[in-house]
Structure 1
Amino acid sequence: MPSKKNTKWNDIETSCKDPGIYAWYLINSIGSADRDVPDGWSRLVEKYISDHERPGMGVNAKATLGLEFNGEINHVTIDEDKGKSWSPNTESIDIVTDLLNLSVPNLAAPLYIGVAPNGIRGRLMDHKRDIKRYRREGIEKIANIRDRDPEREEDRIFASRVVSRNIDVNKLWIEYITIGRESYEGDLEEGLKTAEFILNRIFFPILGKK
């Protein structure tokens, strides 16, 4: 039977080795000291919001008589014209903070959804190595490497987006569901990839895929 578990960045090495499907999330962890400084609290929340901005999207629109428009549109999470209208008053900061801190995973959008037919631990370790390498060597340097495995291109896209946003890896959280290799008679890999395909098109992970 399927089993639902979770892990964090520092515990990936001890995650389950069974095949399954997984999702990365970004937790909010504002401490009690941060709540006492409203301006500092607002900056932390703004960073958390901006980390969830979706990547820019290429758009092409065509009309009659050959009229055509193309370009890139960006995801706007906070309307600058509205200033701090989204920010609560001082008396409500504790309420908002506690709710945000407990929102993952039940009320949060995933950063990435992936599949691990050969084992959860190995796939998560691949992601972890990619992120650490991008942080160490730089995104542009690795992007110029031509002899890359095309099957892992989506992994590298996720890693580069985590690093380019300067996301604190200690705030990364992974939920996963494992499937026992002997639990089902059908094609395990096909079943996992089909579930991944469906989930990606329902939830549209923020930093996943191209």
Structure 2
Amino acid sequence: MQKVLCLAFIVALTFIYAADKPAVSEQDLRMMEETGVLDEMDQPQNPQGRPGMEQKQGMPQRQGMEQRQGMEPKESMEAMILTRVKSELELTSEQAGKFVENFYKAEDVRKEYGKKKMEALMEVKKALNAEKIDEGALNSLVETCNKLDREMMEKAREAKEKNMSMLTVKQKAKLVIMEGRMQGNFNPNMRKIAKEENRTEKKERKEEKKEDRK
């Protein structure tokens, strides 16, 4: 009985944590700030299609993600992630098309399982708040939550393998580093490596520009 209650408490705690957890981590925000994504998000919308200041001065208007009509914040975030992936991995048009298709298929699956998991967690919470706890029923509910987690992880693994299969070795390496950064698993040593890579890339770009000028 004590073991079941302990498991149920952990599941309920996960539910509470997930509800309070911000949609974007500090690492994500820093990454978006470094890459200029936040600058795009901060661009004011142009109400009623009136020309903005940049248009009046004959300058091309910067198109932020939120300027796309009818786009929800979450959709905007997904679009920014895809844009970042396509840019950082230097995907070809064919690769980008398949990657986007797989991404949204995986998102649909994640939403489906997310809904099922939320319903299961509510049942766990309800069972915990009951005057008399049914150990067998509670254990079954906990197992349902664990099963959904396993299934969702398996679907996520399958989706990742699909995308990995069409990438070059270099692109795979870049994607792994990017995922680690976005998941908050970027330890100090990895950050040091990434900073060094960024310095090297900037140096190479400067040298390329110098060569072009000659």
TM-score by length of 2: 0.29
Query: Does 1 or 2 have the higher relative contact order (CA < 8 Å, sep 6+)?
Result: 1
- Greater strand percent: which structure? 1
- Greater helix percent: which structure? 2
Larger of the two Rg values belongs to structure: 2
